[in-house]
Structure 1
C-alpha cells in the first residue's frame, strides 16, 4: 500500500507562491431538505458548508517514463511526452479554477508528485483561503494509477482500506478505499473515496468484485455512522445508479441501500424527489448517458446541490465529455466532473 499525506508551506518568489511537498445542466438540486429535519435545532446544527468536486481524469500520467504506465503511455513512441503532460496539466487546472471547490477528488492519477504540480499551477494568488494546501494520494503497490485529493481545509485523519480476498482464486487489481476527515466551523466531515473495479474484464465476471467493494464501503460507513459523523462518499464506482438497490424514501432522507454484511441507507442526488434521474449523466457510452460517478450522503449532512458539469471547455456542444486523445493531444477526460455542495 502506498499512502502519501502532505501539507504545503509557502516559499515566496515574486507574486507566485511555490509549494514544495513535505511528505509525512440540468440536475436535481435538493436532497435532505428542511422537511426531512426532525426539528429546527437539527437544521441549525448545519453550520459548515463546503463544495466537493469529483473527477475521473482518464489515465492521467505524468511525463516521466517509469515503466509502470499503461501501454499507451510507456514510451515516447506512443506519442506521449512531457510537453503533452504540461498541456494536459494546465487544462486540468483551468477546470479546477472554474469549479472553485473546497475539496478536489481525482481518480486515475499516476503519482503523488502530480498533486504538487497541480497545487503549484493553482498557487498564483494572494487569497490564501483559496489555496489547496493539503492533500493525499494512495494506490496499491504495483498499480499504475491511484486516487488523489487536494483540500483547502486541513486533513485531520486518514485511513486506507484494501480488500484481501483469497477464497475465489486470484483477486484482480483493485483500488483501495481512502477514508479521511476534515473540519470546518467546528464540524467534522468524513469522506470516502472509491474507484471500483471496471467492467473491462466482463460485466458478469467483474460484478462479484464490485459487490465486495460495496460490502466494504457499507461496513466502513456503518462504523463511521456510529460516531454520529456527517459522511460523504464519492468516486467512480463503474456501476450505474440503476444497478444499485433504489428504495422509496417514505419520508426518510435516504433513497438507496448499499448491501453487505451490514446494509446501510444512503442518499444519492442522482435520484430526484419524483423518482426521475438527474440529467445529464457523467459518462457517455454507446450513445447514451451512464451515471457511474457518484456522491452518497449519510448521517448528519445536507446535500444543497449537485451537478454533472457539462457546460465548459471540457465538454462538446452536446454536453458530452471530450475524451483525451494522445495522438493529437486534445481533450480532457471521458468522464464529466461532478460537484456537490454539502452542509454539516
Structure 2
C-alpha cells in the first residue's frame, strides 16, 4: 500500500495541470487479473485430462521446470502495480490453474511470501481441469462470502453438456470498503468465433445474473467483473449482454464501465494470434466505483501490464507475450497473455 499525491484537476479532468489545483493525498491499491497459462503440477490426476497439459507433455526435467514456472508467475504478480502502489496487487484474479496446490506454491514463493496472500479457489468441472481463483493480501482484504457458479452450456446438438470453468464470486472488506469480485474464464473460440459465440454469450448472461443478484441487495454495490473473456470489449457478450460502456459519463446507476474498450480501439491488446491483437483480458466495474467522492475507494486508472521482460523479443512471435510453453518445450517465459490491472484510490487525511 502506498500514499500518493494527486492534484484534483488531474484526477477529475484528465492530465491537465492548473496552477490553482489543490493537492490531496490518496491511498492506492491495485486490483488485477492474470491468465497464468497452464499452471499445472507434474502429478497425473486420474480424474482430469491433465496428461495433455504442456507440463505433463514435457519429456524431461518436469520438476525443475515446474519450479521455474512458479517462480516466473510469482515474479509477475509481485511486479503488477508496484511502480505506483509500491505493493503487489491487493487482490488478483487468476485463470488457467489446475488446483489450489499450484497456487499455494506461487504465493509461498520468496517473492510473494511476505505479502501473505490468501486463496479463494473451487474445483471446476472443466474437462481439462483448469480453474479460476482469487488471491488476496490478508492484511488488506478479508473475504466474507465466496461462491462458485456453474456455467451450463451444450454442444452444437444442444444435448451434450460442455464442461467448462465455473465463475467465482467473492465478497469482502477491502481496507474499509465492501467490494465484490467476479472472476471469469469464458469459453474459448475453438471451432471459430461465430460458432463458439453462443457459449460466451451464455457466460456473459451468468455474469449478468450474478451482478443483478448483488445489486438487488445493494444497488450501490462496488463490483469488479474480471477475467479472460475470450471476447474483445466490442463483442456481443460484453457490449450486448453486459452493456458495458466505454464512456464513464454514460454509465447509469446499475450500469457497467469498461476502461479497456478505449485501449482496444487504440489497437492495444493482451494477447496475440496470427499477427492480430485481442484484448480478451479485461476488468469491468459498476457505477459506484466511478463517483468523485473519494471518501471511499474509487477507480483511478487502468492499464495493460506489458513490461519488456514479458515480451518476446525475437523470432516469428517477436512482440507477442513471451509465453511459457511452445512446441512441446518450456521457453522460460511467462504467459501468452499480459496481465491487466486497475488502480483504486481513497482520500486520506494529512
Counterpart CA distance in 2 for 1:290 and 1:105 is 19
What's 2:227 paired with?
A: 235
Residue range with higher mean Cα deviation, 166-175 or 228-237 = 166-175
Number of matched residues? 290
Q: Secondary structure at the match of 1:211?
A: helix
Deviation of 1:343 after TM superposition, in Å, equals: 4.2
Deviation of 1:328 after TM superposition, in Å, equals: 4.1
C-alpha contact 1:48 1:185 (8 A) present in aligned 2: no
Deviation of 1:70 after TM superposition, in Å, equals: 4.7
C-alpha contact 2:133 2:168 (8 A) present in aligned 1: no
> Relative contact order (C-alpha < 8 Å, sep 6+): which is higher?
1
Counterpart CA distance in 1 for 2:338 and 2:320 is 8
- Among 35, 42, 50, the alignment partner of 2:29 is 50
Deviation of 1:312 after TM superposition, in Å, equals: 3.5
Deviation of 1:341 after TM superposition, in Å, equals: 1.2
C-alpha contact 1:237 1:293 (8 A) present in aligned 2: yes
Q: How does 1:108-147 map to 2 (within 5 A)?
A: 108-122=96-110, 130-132=115-117, 134-141=118-125, 143=127, 144-147=129-132
Q: Secondary structure at the match of 2:122?
A: strand
Give deviations 1:146-202, integer Å, cap 9, x for gaps: 012210122221011113357921121221110001213431010000000001133
Q: Secondary structure at the match of 1:85?
A: helix
Counterpart CA distance in 2 for 1:331 and 1:118 is 16
Deviation of 1:207 after TM superposition, in Å, equals: 1.0
Q: Secondary structure at the match of 1:59?
A: strand
Counterpart CA distance in 2 for 1:124 and 1:291 is 27
Q: Secondary structure at the match of 2:309?
A: coil
Counterpart CA distance in 1 for 2:142 and 2:224 is 17
Counterpart CA distance in 1 for 2:264 and 2:54 is 40
- Among 76, 79, 82, the alignment partner of 1:95 is 76
Q: Secondary structure at the match of 1:96?
A: helix
What's 2:66 paired with?
A: 85
C-alpha contact 2:42 2:62 (8 A) present in aligned 1: yes
Counterpart CA distance in 2 for 1:343 and 1:305 is 9
Question: Residue 184 and residue 328 in structure 1: after superposition, are their counterparts in 2 closer, same or farther (change >3 A)?
Answer: closer
Q: Secondary structure at the match of 1:316?
A: coil
Deviation of 1:85 after TM superposition, in Å, equals: 0.3
Question: Residue 241 and residue 85 in structure 1: after superposition, are their counterparts in 2 closer, same or farther (change >3 A)?
Answer: same
What's 1:311 paired with?
A: 307
What is the RMSD of the two structures over their aligned residues, measured on CA atoms?
A: 3.1
Deviation of 1:233 after TM superposition, in Å, equals: 0.6
What's 1:322 paired with?
A: 322
Counterpart CA distance in 2 for 1:250 and 1:241 is 14
What's 2:19 paired with?
A: none
Question: Residue 97 and residue 75 in structure 1: after superposition, are their counterparts in 2 closer, same or farther (change >3 A)?
Answer: closer
Normalising by structure 1, what TM-score?
A: 0.75
Counterpart CA distance in 2 for 1:61 and 1:276 is 30
What's 2:23 paired with?
A: none
Residue range with higher mean Cα deviation, 155-164 or 315-324 = 315-324
Counterpart CA distance in 2 for 1:92 and 1:186 is 29
Q: Secondary structure at the match of 1:116?
A: helix
1:196 counterpart = 2:186: yes
Counterpart CA distance in 1 for 2:35 and 2:179 is 22
What's 2:210 paired with?
A: 220
C-alpha contact 2:55 2:62 (8 A) present in aligned 1: no
Counterpart CA distance in 1 for 2:59 and 2:186 is 27
Spell out structure 1 runs of 4+ moving beyond 6 A. none
Counterpart CA distance in 2 for 1:296 and 1:209 is 20
What's 1:39 paired with?
A: none
Question: Residue 131 and residue 160 in structure 1: after superposition, are their counterparts in 2 closer, same or farther (change >3 A)?
Answer: same
Counterpart CA distance in 2 for 1:242 and 1:250 is 15
C-alpha contact 1:270 1:278 (8 A) present in aligned 2: no
Residue range with higher mean Cα deviation, 198-207 or 241-250 = 241-250
Q: Secondary structure at the match of 1:89?
A: helix
What's 1:179 paired with?
A: 169
